[in-house]
Structure 1
Amino acid sequence: MTSTQIVVLIVVILAVLLIAAVAARVARRRSLQKTFGPEYDRVVAEKEDRGAAEQELRERQSRHAELELKPLSAESRARYSAAWEEVQVRFVDEPADAVRTADALVTRLIAERGYPTGSYDDQLATLSVEHARTLGHYRDAHEISERNDRGEATTEDLRQALVHYRALVADLLGEEPVQSTDLPRQQSTDDGARPDPARPDIAGSAGR
């Protein structure tokens, strides 16, 4: 084999290795995008560096793999479904308390599934591996819940919080917690002002 042939062979081998490396990187990226869905784009935008974002997502997968997750028994699913129905009933007269109860119920459900509950950020990180598509609901519900604790959430905000919490509950249960998803929607007063969130004037039902 001549020196020219050797050089050509080396170039070909390097090209093949480069193509294989690029293909593997693309495959890993697509796998992360499939696993994390919208969470992938959110982390990339937050990090402003795709490589750093993908490294964080892979670390989430590693931490998730160490968890001892367990499915809920039929009895547990029935218990949480009944508890959620009580939350929706309570919303009619006590929307603020209903949202607090929903937040506590979600935390218990997350814990029973085997996810960490000590830190909200840790909850988000570990939930994102298998429940990324409902993670936005959890973020929105949590944000409204915090405003509720500060007395800054309207009744419509609270209704939306329950809609968001419900999406995560259904995802974690693997089924809808109750048959109907409708919650009472706040009605405006005659002068256009919102009623007092603590004593909402409830009328009608919200559509899906």
Structure 2
Amino acid sequence: MSTVVMVVIAVIIVAAVVAAVAFLGRPRARTHRLRRRFGPEYDRAVERHGGRTAAEEELLTRERKHRELPLRDLPPNRREEFRAQWVGVQERFVDEPARAVEQADDLVRVVMAERGYPTRGFEDQVAHLSVEHARTLDHYRSAHAVSGKAAAGEASTEDLRQAMVHYRALFEDLLSAPGGDRPEKAPAAPPAEPAAGPARETRS
């Protein structure tokens, strides 16, 4: 066998090995990327689907749908207007905690809509938010659960206070400037009321 033939064969073998390594490494690289991007949402999807393949297909679909959204950043003056509104909501908590939580939920959805996110259907909201805001989705889920309890008159004042903390986490994440710092810790809770037990209030 001539040297030229041997060289050609060697090149073919090396190319085949490189191609095989690249092919086998693609799923691992995809898994690593999705884990980094979605965080706890990745594990939720795996648990829900009972396996990694279907979970990753769902997350890839979320990314595709996210790219189709007309998302936009908020100008600085608009972010400050929303923060001023949040201060008003938090101040209302002292006298009307259940109503304040309801308003916090409304304000978060207003910000979502202004950013370009759909706001109909909680699970759809979560799916769209998970692509860029996965880190604060557990806060949103916790706040949403308390809102349900509050609507049934079953939320304690402490439940409502924690809901405000959870809503604030997503609220600030949505308001963060492009490339800006996002809070690593949950924001401070509003002051607790002396009363205990379920908070029952009538809408004004």
Alignment TM-score > 0.5, same fold: yes
CA–CA separation in structure 2 for the residues paired with 1:38 and 1:83? 30
- The equivalent of 1:202 in structure 2 is none
Q: Which residue of 2 aligns with 1:81?
A: 83
Deviation of 1:73 after TM superposition, in Å, equals: 1.3
Q: Match of 2:188?
A: 181
Q: Which runs of 4+ in 1 moved over 6 A?
A: 5-12
Q: What is the TM-score with the length of structure 2 in the denominator? A: 0.83
Q: Counterpart of 1:63? A: 65
Q: What secondary structure is seen at the aligned counterpart in 2 of 1:130?
A: helix
1:41, CA displacement in angstroms?
A: 1.1
Matched to 2:160, the amino acid is L
Distance 1:66 1:198 in 2: 41
Report the Cα distance in structure 2 between the residues aligned to 1:169 and 1:63, rounded to whole angstroms.
22
Shift of 1:8: 9.2
Aligned to 2:162: 160
Q: CA deviation at 1:43?
A: 1.0
What is the TM-score with the length of structure 1 in the denominator?
Answer: 0.82
| Residues in 2 aligned to 1:129 and 1:54: alpha-carbon distance in whole angstroms | 13
Amino acid of the structure 1 residue aligned with 2:107: L
Where does residue 116 of structure 1 map in the other structure? Answer: 118
Q: Which residue of 2 aligns with 1:98?
A: 100
- For 1:40-59, what aligned pairs fall within 5 Å after superposition? 40-59=42-61
Q: Does residue 21 of structure 1 match 2:23? A: yes
Aligned to 1:205: none
* Alpha-carbon separation, structure 1, partners of 2:128 and 2:166: 18
For this pair of structures, how many residues does the alignment match?
189
- Alpha-carbon RMSD across the aligned residues, in angstroms, is 2.4
CA distance in 2, matches of 1:173, 1:81: 9
Do the aligned partners of 2:146 and 2:163 also contact (CA within 8 Å) in 1? yes
Structure 2 Cα separation of the partners of residues 46 and 9 of structure 1: 45
Cα separation, 1, equivalents of 2:146 and 2:42: 23
Q: Which moved more, 1:92-101 or 1:145-154?
A: 145-154
How much does 1:144 deviate? 0.7
Q: What one-letter code is carried by the residue in structure 2 that aligns with 1:181?
A: A
Percent identity among equivalent residues? 48
Alignment gaps of 5+ in structure 1? 189-193, 200-208
The Cα offsets for residues 110-151 of structure 1, whole Å up to 9 and x where unpaired, read as 000000112211110110000000011001101110111111
Larger deviation, residues 164-173 vs 67-76: 67-76
Q: Deviations over 1:138-182 (max 9, x none)?
A: 011011101111111111110010000000001001167xxx734
Q: Which residue of 2 aligns with 1:204?
A: none
Deviation of 1:185 (Å): 2.4
Structure 2 gap segments, 5+ residues each: 177-181
Q: Does the Cα contact within 8 Å between 1:95 and 1:198 map onto a contact in 2?
A: no
